[in-house]
Every structure is written in C-alpha cells, then in structure tokens.
C-alpha cells in the first residue's frame, strides 16, 4: 500500500480536506496508473484503511444535489509523520523490479526460433506504441506541469526508451539464443535421482 498511501497523504497534505472522489479525480488527472503502481479504484479502500490507522480522519459528510453523500477526510498529525516517513523511504530507496520475462526467456529452450522471434517482435512493437503515446501525452501536458512532474515524466519515458533499445538488441540476438539452446549451452545440470536411503547403507 506504500504508493497509494504516499499519494493520498501527500494530496491531503497539499490540498486540505477532500472526499474520496476528489482524490480519485486527482489520481486520474495525474495519470498515476501510467507511471506508478497505484490503481485509481483502490482510493476508497485505502482511505478507509488510513482512517482505521488514525492517519486521516472524517471531517464531515456532504451531499450535492441528488448525488450520494460523500465523506470529507483530513490528514492528521500522525498522518503527516507517516507521510514524511514513507516519502523519506521512497526518496532514498533504489528500486529494481525483476521482469518475469527474463526468467521465461532463459526457460524457452523448447520454443522454436521463429516463435521466439515473433514474441520478441510483438513485445518490441507494443513498447514502441507505448513510447509514442507517452511522448505525445508528455508534449501536451508540458505547459501544465511543474519541473518535478516534468522530470518524473521524463524518467518514465527514458526507462521505456531503454526497454525499446534492449528489445531491439534482443531481436537481433534471437538466432544466437536459439543456437545456444540447440547446442545445450547453459542447460541445467542433469542430476540423477537421489538413491533411496536403504540403498546407500553399508552392508
């Protein structure tokens, strides 16, 4: 819950009391699902958990027109301490996420070369489309973001650019990968089944 906790507490700290729908709209406006692991739909549940921990508290409920009642939340002093702690941790921790594709690639000895080539090309094409969309959105958002947000967007774009470069090189190396698999290079060691304990006893 670290990311959603950081987002909600940070938003309430900066904006003052808000209801869940306003926080959700802010997450949508910031496109948090594009550049973080935050799921916009988790805002309401996260708010309730934060309230149960005493990090936010209900200020009041309000109703506008025929809309359902909405609960207004405010960050508490304990919530501000929690925000400082989680932000401090996130700013200093280096995150490296393991991509399951890497392990799957090493376990693809039985996949035909042409099929492996198609898989890599499909991934590369998808990444190129994603990168194009990110650049387009960044260009249109640029007049409305601050420098910290601008650098965050560039960080995500450059990470995606790195993925495109890596997949481009991977596509060129598929024939060598297939040849290594065919030659048995790097195959798991062929282990013999363990002998039953009674067979290992000295007569």
Q: What is the pLDDT of residues 60-103, one digit of tens each?
A: 988 777 778 899 999 999 999 999 999 999 999 988 888 999 99
Residue 72 phi, psi (nearest 5): -90, 130
Predicted confidence (pLDDT) at residue 198 exceeds the cutoff of 70: no
| 116 and 64 fall within a common domain | no
| pLDDT band at 195; cut points 50, 70, 90 | low
- Residue 39: domain span: 2-92
**Do 36 and 90 form a contact (C-beta atoms < 8 A)?**
no
Angle at 55 between CA 54 and CA 56, to 5 degrees: 95
| 105 and 144 fall within a common domain | yes
Q: Which helix (H) or strand (E) holds 71?
A: strand 70-75
| 84 and 6 fall within a common domain | yes
User: Quick one: which of 15, 11, 5, 13 has its CA closest to 27?
Assistant: 11
Number of structural domains (the chain) is 2
| 84 and 26 fall within a common domain | yes
Q: Is residue 200 part of a domain?
A: no
What's the pLDDT at 154?
94
| 72 and 129 fall within a common domain | no
What's the pLDDT at 202?
54
The reported pTM is 0.75
What's the pLDDT at 194?
65
Compute the average pLDDT of residues 190-199: 61
């Amino acid at each position: 819950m670290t990311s959603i906790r950081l987002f909600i507490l940070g938003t309430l700290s900066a904006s003052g009391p808000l209801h869940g729908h306003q926080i959700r709209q802010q997450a949508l406006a910031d496109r948090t699902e594009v550049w973080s692991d935050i799921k916009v739909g988790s805002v309401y549940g996260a708010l309730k958990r934060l309230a149960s921990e005493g990090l936010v508290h209900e200020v009041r409920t309000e109703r506008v027109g025929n809309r359902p009642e909405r609960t207004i939340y405010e960050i508490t002093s304990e919530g501000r301490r929690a925000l400082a702690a989680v932000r401090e941790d996130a700013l200093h921790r280096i995150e490296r996420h393991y991509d399951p594709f890497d392990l799957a690639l090493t376990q693809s000895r039985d996949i035909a070369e042409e099929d492996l080539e198609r898989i890599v090309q499909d991934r590369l094409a998808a990444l190129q489309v994603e990168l194009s969309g990110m650049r387009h959105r960044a260009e249109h958002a640029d007049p409305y973001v601050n420098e910290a947000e601008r650098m965050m967007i560039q960080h995500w774009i450059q990470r995606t650019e790195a993925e495109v470069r890596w997949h481009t090189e991977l596509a060129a190396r598929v024939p060598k990968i297939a040849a290594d698999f065919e030659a048995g290079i790097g195959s798991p060691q062929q282990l013999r089944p363990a002998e039953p304990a009674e067979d290992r006893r000295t007569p």
